[in-house]
Homo-oligomer: A and B are copies of this chain.
Amino acid sequence: MASPGSLDAESESFEPRPFFTIGQHDSNRRETLTDDHYRHILNSGFHFATTPITNDHFKQRVVDLYKSFLKEREQWGLDLSNQSLPGPVVSTLTDEDTNYGPGTYVGSLVAYCSPWIDLCSSNPLIASISRQVLNLELAYASFAGARNIIIPGPRRDDGNAAVVRYARAVREGLQVASRINIIIHMPMYREPRLEEKAETLSQLVGEAGAADPGKEQEIDIFTSWDSWHTIRSVCDYAARLYVALRIPRRVPEKVLQGRWFAEPLYYLTVGAEIFQKNPAGYPSLSRHHQELIASYMRFRNPPSLLLSDVGPDADAFANQMALEFPSLAEASQALKENRRPTVPMNPYVSYIKHLERSQEPFSALDTQSLLSFQDWLQSPLQPLADNLESATYEVFEGDPVKYNQYELAIAKAMIDWREQKLPTAQDGTNSDLVVAVAGAGRGPLVTRVLRAAESTGTSIQLWALEKNQNAYVYLLGMNKRVWNNKVTVVKTDMRGWEGPKVPGYDSLISKVDILVTELLGSFGDNELSPECLDGIQRHLSQPHGISIPSSYTAHLSPIATPKIFADLSSRVTGTPDAFETPWVTLLYAIDFVAQKVPDHPRFQQAWEFSHPVGLLRADEFAEEAGMAAKYVPPGVGSMYGSSGANDHNTRYCHLTFVCPTRGVIHGLAGYFESVLYAPHSGKEPVEISILPDQIDRKSKDMISWFPIFFPLKKPMYFPQDTELEVSMWRQTDDTKVWYEWIVEAYAWVGPKTRLKVGESELHTSRNVGCRF
């Protein structure tokens, strides 16, 4: 790595990269910044800085209050354990308690609450005073115009409800500072010898250390996350509550990095002690630290970097000022001339700016669309019920990967057909292969079929079916302008199509050899591909007729996604079904809690659909298959009101996911894969996949589908060595299709003992199911 000094920002190309906002925090700062000091910090390359809200005078006043209170109680001979005795009340701030206040920069200063308060204390008086101080500071910072306030996190993570007490105080703080972001400063994990150094109120007043860091013991790297989880849970996943994550000296395992990745990171705080010196003596970060930071900076709204105790501190500033402005007269002269003092860039900032320039640029895909869709929730399309608009089709058509795979599949099918010398549906009339594109939209698949026919030298008779009368107009135009009238365009719902009539033999109804459709949703079958194909497959020739796609599978994985949970929680009043809707979303800030172990992969197949089905759809069953009428509906299906006609398209799965570390889940991520065509020869099938661990191999850069997300109404906490058992159903009542899901948690607590530790409700999307 080159030293920062050798790099020139102007020489860099202008490819878009993550933008690093850099803040300055000085843990020894005791008074708010003067305007001069703040300007000096900005001139050193920082974008913003933190400020304490109150000063040492206030701190001393609180300490004195507590001490004299105890003393006077003693003098009065009062029983301290009597809960009914009034405790001390911290009176409101005066101008002696703070230098902070409304001013030019106040909105860009980040307020930092007094680190000496002890909201966790088991001493009710200490805890009460701490809450009062917190509320005084939050209220005053709100008044002054702060937009972001950092509260130092709890000092310890262990039990006795200390963290719950802390969390309850923060919850009230969100109400006291009702329009401000509250950011909890948490270490990534409790790294030994990296505890908060500021003395707590308990220590200041000489109480037995309610905030002792505790004896050193085996490090459990998840305790800090546990505390954060408790805090945000008690605060109901408030939208204004964030984390300032302290980067540790030693970068932890990926599983912990991934856990925090899903949390609402507002700042990454990086202390001077994290930096190394490079050979030239400049501060730099280890490769692991660089990678950690890089991974957290690729969000649409990446966290800001808050550098702690890297200077310039107040002393350095004073010295600097003394150099620059030897006299007041000169200083005011400099100001008058609007002369900007030339402050050298802070070396830590220089390094971070170098790091910024060395970030991997965003891909074209990222910048054009994907970034803006991170974790953004969409209702799934209902293409069967609604007519899509041209712009929607255009988005779909913009994915070359998908259509290339389709063309490849069609071409392979045509070659197979020829090589195997199969009879076509048309044999006896002419030998053209009959191809139908059902649900042709604006025709991208029609184009690909024509290309495949040309490239393979196959003569075909091509039908394009479309139910959307608006797209139909477009198809007619395409046929004239682009396809040389080679296509028979039919305006019909594919389920009501009469089949390909042989030209010149109008009384004969022929069959289709290759049926091409693109009806798949993010979960495969969720846009009713099975029901639609049921309705047309009677026109497929037997026994050789081919459906492209030939099969598709749905896949699941449980995930933690606190941001989406918070989003849904805020919607549920207006959208009561928000937690029982499968949402299409580019899942990004998520944590896959399940680990891959033998027999239990991280992504597991829920079920499969394949086409054509060996027997036709149920109401054709008897006729086509010659079976007895006793199998035929009407009967009573599995669901209320159904006759069982679509029961063969129900599915059920029971999957077990293994979670070695404790955590929480907010729902299930859903994906699909599809075999578009599997050559008869057993050669490699043509596939598409949106599975995170398969997409690069099977259909790299395909962007037509985001994953689907099945939420849980309540976050589900689970201990280490838990197996999450997911039951999911695809249900139907002959008029619509919906999903149901339930999760149970079982923890292994010994080689033979597995305890049930939790259960979700049964969730159902029946209310928002897909009609057909």
Contact = CB atoms under 8 A, between A and B. Distances in A.
Interface of A: 65, 68-69, 72, 76, 78-79, 82-92, 124, 127-128, 131-132, 135-136, 139, 159-161, 164-165, 167-169, 171-172, 175-176, 226, 230, 233-234, 236, 530, 607-611, 613-615, 617-618, 621, 625, 627-628, 630-640, 643-645, 647-652, 654, 662, 714, 717-720, 725, 727, 729, 740, 742, 744, 746-747, 749-750, 753, 755-759, 761-762
A631 B64 CA distance: 11
A747 B647 CA distance: 42
Contacts of A755: 662, 719-720, 747, 749, 757
A388 B525 CA distance: 62
Contact of A83 (B165, B608, B662, B759): B608
A86 B632 CA distance: 10
A664 to B, nearest CB: 9
A719 B718 CA distance: 12
Contacts of A171: 762
Given A86-B618, A614-B85, A756-B717, A92 B635 contact: yes
Nearest to A638: B131
A124 B131 CA distance: 58
A749 B160 CA distance: 19
B644 A132 contact: yes
Contact of A614 (B82, B226, B744): B82
Contact of A613 (B82, B89, B610, B618): B82
Contacts of A637: 89, 132, 135
B632 A91 contact: yes
8 contacts: A68-B630, A83-B651, A88-B631, A89-B631, A89-B633, A164-B727, A172-B640, A749-B753
Nearest to A625: B76
A636 B135 contact: yes
- A-B complex: 4 closest residue pairs judged by Cβ atoms: A86-B648, A749-B749, A719-B755, A89-B644
B762 A727 contact: no
Contacts of A131: 638
A111 to B, nearest CB: 16
A79 B614 contact: yes
B233 A761 contact: yes
A429 B475 CA distance: 109
B639 A172 contact: yes
Nearest to A614: B78
Nearest to A137: B636
Given A68-B628, A91-B630, A662-B756, A638 B84 contact: no
A312 to B, nearest CB: 34
A491 B637 CA distance: 71
Contacts of A613: 82, 84-86
A621 B79 CA distance: 16
A761 B230 contact: no
Contacts of A647: 86-87, 89, 128
A762 B237 CA distance: 12
B631 A69 contact: yes
A628 B639 CA distance: 74
A228 to B, nearest CB: 13
A457 to B, nearest CB: 33
A530 B753 CA distance: 50
B762 A161 contact: no
A614 B613 CA distance: 84
Given A88-B631, A161-B744, 14 more contacts: A65-B631, A68-B630, A76-B615, A86-B617, A88-B630, A91-B634, A132-B644, A164-B727, A168-B727, A168-B762, A234-B742, A714-B714, A717-B757, A717-B759
B168 A729 contact: yes
Nearest to A749: B749
A24 to B, nearest CB: 29
B233 A632 contact: no
A614 to B, nearest CB: 5
A132 B636 CA distance: 6
A670 B157 CA distance: 30
A132 to B, nearest CB: 6
A210 B90 CA distance: 69
A638 B135 contact: yes
A48 to B, nearest CB: 27
A757 B759 contact: no
Contacts of A746: 159
A758 B226 CA distance: 12
A92 B629 CA distance: 12
B92 A727 contact: no
Name which of A69, A630, A651, A725 has the most chain B CB atoms within 10 A of its CB: A630
A89 B136 contact: no
Given A136-B636, A161-B727, A638-B131, A621 B168 contact: no
Contacts of A756: 226, 662, 717, 719
A482 to B, nearest CB: 36
Nearest to A171: B762
Name which of A127, A638, A652 has the most chain B CB atoms within 10 A of its CB: A638
